[in-house]
Structure 1
Amino acid sequence: MTIRIGAGAGFAGDRIEPAIDLAERGDLDFLVFECLAERTIALAQQAKLADPASGYDRMLERRMRAVLAPCRRGGTRIVTNMGAANPRAAAEAVRTIARELGLTDLKVAAVTGDDVLDRVAGLHLIETNCTAGALGDKLVSANAYIGVGAIVGALDAGADVVICGRASDPSLFLAPLVHSFGWAMDDWTRLGRGTLVGHLLECAAQITGGYFADPGHKDVPDLAHVGFPLAEVEADGNAILTKLEGTGGAVTRATCTEQLLYEIHDPSAYIQPDVVADFSHVTFEEIGPDRIAVRGGDGRAPTGKLKVSVGYRDGWIGEGQISYAGPGCIARGRLAIDIVRDRLRARGAEIHEQRGELIGYNSVGSEPDPAIPEPPEIRMRYAARCTSQEVASSIAEEVEGLYLCGPSGGGGATGHVREVVGVASGLIPTDDSMPVYEIFEA
């Protein structure tokens, strides 16, 4: 028995076309959409506070309208964390779309229980060295990274679409494997291998050449039409990684190795809710074009704790940009920075952090080599993190004022103000009663 599982998204704004391709001709058992980052769910919680019917992924409806029918025709089941802060509302939205498409027998499950805001007052936050309760009314959200339990339960109950909030990314892929193969929840080797498969697939095009490509050093063909990956997984948890024929990109030992090392602290101890995975003896073997055999994953018992991601209001960012071109553009850009900085200092604006930079010249590191010729144009950017929205708004205003009160030749000024949602993390004991699921008939 081989299970075919594909990656339909690697982040909230990912392309839809490769997922449609997988749904239509991937012959998949499962299609997984992984769309949450650490800060994404805090922003979703903010949206839910403003509108109780919102708080799920903004592209949920578009994705489901595109893939529900072909997945239904092919017998492909969907697992996703696009529920974000509101899995129930997301499930209702999918039910509505299914009815509009005539899929009246579709079963949609909402997995809840990751929202632990009412349990974290005394939680020590690693990054801020305070408790979550000390944040007071700045506290926006607290979501635990849950494991496979409720997802497996929903699949066992016959759900065609399972919508989660904050689950561990690899768990979205591990759960269908546990369900399909009937793996025991103390079979650490298989759980470790399933986690490996999930980790390799979770960022979608990162393993098919996207983000890997570096022209002249790591060339990847036809990235404009890059395909998303899929895995052919055996009952022992070993797998073959590949992509659909005719799609762009490439699946190679190099792309797989880069993804293997992505976002893990210790390859021998990748801590997950259901297992501590061990990737230290993983091997990749090229067995054909765009076909990589993955072997050697392992695991051991979990820690008994879950990571919690806490979102909190952390001020406002104000930003302004303006361009300078031609001879002396660097000097004029530097003068523009000095003017804005001096004016903010004179006003006594309450600013936590501020930065002036020349995009294309020094915005991502130290000053360039003076021997390098001056570029034909630069764009000055000034940004500051402020206590109030009013002060943040003044940053853009000061940059716009450079049109006539600054160096010559400035143009294309833009401004932007946004509230900052900070993210901190802590650990809580695993509680098997936390994650639950509900089944809704379309």
Structure 2
Amino acid sequence: MGSMQRPVRIANCSGAVPDPGYQMYNQAKYGPVDVITGDYLAEINLGNDAEAMSKGEHPGWIQTAWDGIEQTASLLDSKRIKLVINGGALNPKGLAEKVHEFCKSQNLNLKVAWVEGDDLMHRIDDILKSQSSLPHLDRDNGNVQLAKDTQVFLEDREQNKIVSANAYLGGRAIRRGLEEGADIIICGRVADASPVIGAAAWWHSWASDDFDALAGALVAGHLIECSSYITGANFSGFFKHDIAELLNLGFGIVEVDANGDCIVTKHEALNGFVNADTVKCQFLYELQGNIYLNSDVKADTTHISIEDVGKDRVKVSGIKGHPPPPTTKLAIFYKGGWQCELLLNASGYATAKKFALQEAQLKTKLKDWGVLDKFDILDFQWVGRPESNPSCQLASTTYLRVFAQAQDKDVVAKVLPAWATNSMQHFAGFHCSLDLRTAAPKPFLAFYPAILEQSELDEAVSIIGETNSQVQRFAVGPPEKSEPLEPREDYETSNPIGLESFGETVMAPLGDIALGRSGDKGANVNCGLFVHTQEEWEWLRTLMTKAKMREMMGTDWKHWYHLERVEMPEIKAVHFVVYGPLGRGVTSSRLLDSLGKGFAEFIRDVHVPIPKKFLDSRSNL
């Protein structure tokens, strides 16, 4: 273990399944690190892979995680770098055993362990019996209206069969494994930041109630969990950089101090950049307000400070910690039914009338066949708007996306023939791809974020000895101290400034002044927006009320959505959560932007009255 005087240097090697194995190798090779962590699991992975694994068509663990270990293990050994990843997915034991055998075959001095306790499929029937209605994550928010059929799996266990149920684990088992000498720890569904929390708590020997420090590590883990999102990817300020700067990005590193503050950085030899803006954008990604939850700690980020302290070095501080909730999230995926989509193009003139005709033709035929009212969702989405006086045909072309869902496969199967029946009665200039496979019914999984008591978990780390059959198992219990969740904060600015006091305004995109980021949280979309000067902050927090956000969403706003708003004054950010747009989550959302990543960019493109002096000062930079 390292000295108390030195921060622990923790690198990230993955933010999603596609991140290639060489990113793990790069983090080990191109500079000093103490621990490498990797987050391979979007919520969609476990549900999708569970069925394939049950049929013997998938090993349960993530192939790119194994690729990374195969390439990097010798460096981990020679440089004595610890590795903690959630690439074990549904089968952490299986991957750990494979890694152990590989390390032995290469004569590497690496002790391998796995964390278990997240997978509750073997107990889901008992859990449902003891909790006849598994509480939804948003149950205590009386303003939130859940999407239709959200809890259908509780009513029809056969039709809407549960395929996976994984609890989000904290860093306690990871820490114990490191304390017991493990070099490589393979996890399943630990929370995205838990590997960083576990590693930092081990390095600094934090007590379980060092909540400020644990909360700092939680935010540090959040900052690097998404691979290159901190080094230039998914960055709303990217347009100020040359394309070459945005290619082949290296991934992020955090240097976590004994008090939980951190420096965010990267290896100098790898491409990309880390600055206060990239860090603020990533911080604002996939939040649910100013309280960030983990099963080890609750982080209050209201007064987070993010500041440049050198080239590719950003200091993050000001985070307060509190005891964690007694509960954790249980991610349930179940068979939601059948869905399809059909993409139909129109060029230019009178496009709105063309798409109205297409919708009427399709609905009329489905009604004739007696199935129109049997769809759970039948959505007609006009994607894009044709350029006025177009420069070429593609600039004139937009498409209609027909999205359908139903419990019955035969109902969804009617969409394509209903269109085909009228296909020669089409509007002027109709065209589409000749590949219509997207219109065939396919099964989809729906997501249900439940709440489960942490005392229900059997969380442990198992360390492999000389052979795979020689295993030491160390159980870790629930947190020693917890406290119930308070209602989420939600408020307008406390002392608004008269907007007229900022002088003459110009209608321009909000993005000319503000950067931001958005993402998905179950059924909900978050959106954080921030500016750079104190005067811009006084303007932004006054302008961006909940009513203004609803107005800027335009026809996307639905009366049953719920909106929450908080402020983070030190980073000059206003943060919103829109409850409801993603329906039953990513895997079944009707939205084209099912991950909510495009929402902030849409809002930043909406024109608002911006003080002319702000725009003038930007143009002079």
TM-score range, shorter chain: 0.7 to 0.9
TM-score by structure 2 length? 0.63
Higher RCO by CA contacts (8 Å cutoff, separation 6 or greater):
1
CA–CA distance in structure 1, aligned partners of residues 43 and 313 of structure 2: 31
Maintained 8 Å contact 1:146/1:273 = yes
Cα shift at 1:198 = 0.8
Maintained 8 Å contact 2:52/2:58 = no
Cα shift at 1:302 = 1.5
Deviations along 1:88-114, one digit per CA (max 9) or x if unpaired, are 2222343455456x2554332121111
Q: Structure 1's 325 and 251: CA in aligned 2 closer, same or farther, altered over 3 A?
A: same
Q: Does 1:435 align with 2:456?
A: no
CA–CA distance in structure 1, aligned partners of residues 347 and 153 of structure 2: 48
Q: Does 1:380 align with 2:404?
A: no
Q: Structure 1's 72 and 358: CA in aligned 2 closer, same or farther, altered over 3 A?
A: farther
Query: Tell me, what secondary structure is at the counterpart of 2:247?
Result: helix
Q: Match of 2:300?
A: 278
Query: Tell me, what secondary structure is at the counterpart of 2:295?
Result: coil
Q: Match of 1:158?
A: 181
Which range is displaced more, 247-256 or 8-17?
8-17
Q: How many residues are paired up?
A: 433
Q: Match of 1:116?
A: 120
Q: Residue type matched to 2:364 in 1? A: D
Q: Structure 1's 108 and 402: CA in aligned 2 closer, same or farther, altered over 3 A?
A: farther
Deviations along 1:244-275, one digit per CA (max 9) or x if unpaired, are 224333211112122222222232x3221011
Cα shift at 1:211 = 0.9
Query: Tell me, what secondary structure is at the counterpart of 1:251?
Result: coil
Q: Does 1:412 align with 2:433?
A: yes
Name which one, 1 or 2, has greater alpha-carbon Rg. Answer: 2
Q: Match of 2:611?
A: none
Q: Match of 2:232?
A: 209
Query: Tell me, what secondary structure is at the counterpart of 1:39?
Result: helix
Percent pairwise identity: 26
Which range is displaced more, 377-386 or 133-142?
133-142
Deviations along 1:213-240, one digit per CA (max 9) or x if unpaired, are 3554687862122221101222222221
Q: Structure 1's 291 and 97: CA in aligned 2 closer, same or farther, altered over 3 A?
A: same
CA–CA distance in structure 2, aligned partners of residues 214 and 348 of structure 1: 51
CA–CA distance in structure 2, aligned partners of residues 402 and 161 of structure 1: 60
TM-score by structure 1 length? 0.87
Cα shift at 1:354 = 1.3
CA–CA distance in structure 2, aligned partners of residues 194 and 184 of structure 1: 13
Matches of residues 167-316 of structure 1 in structure 2 within 5 Å? 167-214=190-237, 216=239, 222-267=245-290, 269-316=291-338
CA–CA distance in structure 2, aligned partners of residues 132 and 321 of structure 1: 30
Maintained 8 Å contact 1:48/1:86 = no
CA RMSD of aligned residues (A): 3.0
Q: Residue type matched to 2:404 in 1? A: A
Matches of residues 40-79 of structure 1 in structure 2 within 5 Å? 40-51=45-56, 54-79=59-84
| Uncovered stretches (5+) of structure 1, i.e. residues with no partner | 362-367
Equivalent of residue 27 in structure 1, options 5, 22, 32: 32
Which range is displaced more, 290-299 or 343-352?
343-352
CA–CA distance in structure 1, aligned partners of residues 356 and 150 of structure 2: 37
CA–CA distance in structure 2, aligned partners of residues 290 and 81 of structure 1: 27
Q: Match of 2:525?
A: none
CA–CA distance in structure 1, aligned partners of residues 187 and 420 of structure 2: 44
Maintained 8 Å contact 1:317/1:392 = yes
Query: Tell me, what secondary structure is at the counterpart of 1:59?
Result: helix
CA–CA distance in structure 2, aligned partners of residues 330 and 92 of structure 1: 59
Q: Residue type matched to 1:410 in 2? A: H
